[in-house]
Amino acid sequence: MSEQKTCKEAEWEIHPITPETGAEIVGAELSGKLNEEQIRLLRETLARHKVLFFRGQNHLDDEGQEAFAALLGQPFAHPTVPVKAGSGYILELDSHHGGRADQWHTDVTFVDEYPSASILRSVVAPGAGGDTIWANTVAAYNSLPQELKVLAESLWALHSNDFDYAVSAERKGIAVTEERNYRNVFASTVYETEHPLVRVLPDSGEKSLLLGNFAKRILNVSASASDHLLQLFQEHITRLNHTVRWRWEEGDVVIWDNRATQHVAVNDYGRQHRIVRRVTLAGDIPVSAQGERSRVRSASAPRLQTQPDSASA
């Protein structure tokens, strides 16, 4: 069932992909020239569906992607991985150079003010494979039994980039040297942050489960209990009824609410080439159900870069 939304100088169709998660927007041409009404509609639709999909945005280049992103929020560069040469904020994930984000994660949760949203553009898509799957962490919280909601709201987890979601000992199609080099860059500065397992979203008041593979352990419980709790809640988040899957074509753009989702890139395409480029938008410090804010544990960790690196611009 589709929804038709009309705004100034544009008529877009919104096609939900699942009842709770994901919608394809038809008729939109993304750029840095969208008007305020169009941006308002995008924000409202993102808040409802959590992930938005756009086909055929081949007109966008790096500059255009950054200009569009800036209409939605304040872009910033990844805290450890250098931006793409010639750009201000773009993180390039190139499968031939270690860029395979094949672990469930929410972007950059190893810092306190992790991104509110991400905008990902497909530059090179495999002929088959390389899909991305998103899990709706608000829907996951809502579907918990009441007893587990109470438990989850009492728990905190330590998040760190000491574990790199884009590198795994069992990864396919990537050379060991490339894997090692990517790991060294990704963890060149180690961040540690304590986040509540349940955060309250600032705009809607919805509650969202905050985990993923940057979550190292549950605080104030034994190592064994931590492992069991992480597995319990992470497996619940990624149940199929909480997910939406996208088959990439070159020129596709996907926007997701990074506070309300996890995602994973399926690493099933061997040595086929896959390149995607991402811009993330500045977020806020999570607040627990009890009103406590996330805490930075690593005192030496520098803040996220919110201004482009002049050396790479």
* Distance, C-alpha 119 to centroid of its chain: 9
Q: How confident is the model at residue 186 (pLDDT cuts 50, 70, 90)?
A: low
Mean pLDDT, range 228-251, rounded to an integer? 98
Predicted confidence at residue 169, as pLDDT, reads 41
Three-state DSSP state, 77: strand
The answer to which of 116-130, 165-179, 230-244 has the lowest mean pLDDT is 165-179
Mean pLDDT, range 194-199, rounded to an integer? 98
CATH for 73-296, among 3.90.550.10, 3.60.130.10, 3.40.50.300, 3.40.50.880?
3.60.130.10
Predicted confidence at residue 302, as pLDDT, reads 45
Mean pLDDT, range 105-127, rounded to an integer? 96
**Got the DSSP string for 229-286?**
HHHHHHHHHT-GGGEEEE---TT-EEEEETTSEEEEE----TT---EEEEEEE-----
Q: Which 8-state DSSP code applies to residue 82?
A: P
Q: How confident is the model at residue 10 (pLDDT cuts 50, 70, 90)?
A: low
Q: How confident is the model at residue 4 (pLDDT cuts 50, 70, 90)?
A: low
Q: Is the pLDDT of residue 242 over 70?
A: yes
Residue extents of the structural domains in the chain: 73-296
Predicted confidence at residue 313, as pLDDT, reads 29
Q: Is the pLDDT of residue 213 over 70?
A: yes
The answer to which of 47-51, 86-90, 107-111, 117-121 has the lowest mean pLDDT is 86-90
Q: How confident is the model at residue 101 (pLDDT cuts 50, 70, 90)?
A: confident
**CA 104 – CA 136 distance, rounded (Å):** 12
Predicted confidence at residue 113, as pLDDT, reads 95
For residue range 146-180, list pLDDT tens digits in order.
Answer: 999 999 999 999 999 885 444 444 445 455 555 55
Those residues whose C-beta lies under 8 Å from the C-beta of residue 291, and which sit 6 or more positions away, are none
Q: Which of 51, 47, 53 is nearest to 12 (CA)?
A: 53
Return the active site residues: 105, 107, 263, 278
Give the predicted TM-score (pTM) of the model.
Answer: 0.88
**CA 95 – CA 186 distance, rounded (Å):** 15
Predicted confidence at residue 180, as pLDDT, reads 57
Predicted confidence at residue 211, as pLDDT, reads 98
Mean pLDDT, range 214-226, rounded to an integer? 97
For residue range 77-92, list pLDDT tens digits in order.
Answer: 878 777 788 888 999 9
Three-state DSSP state, 199: strand
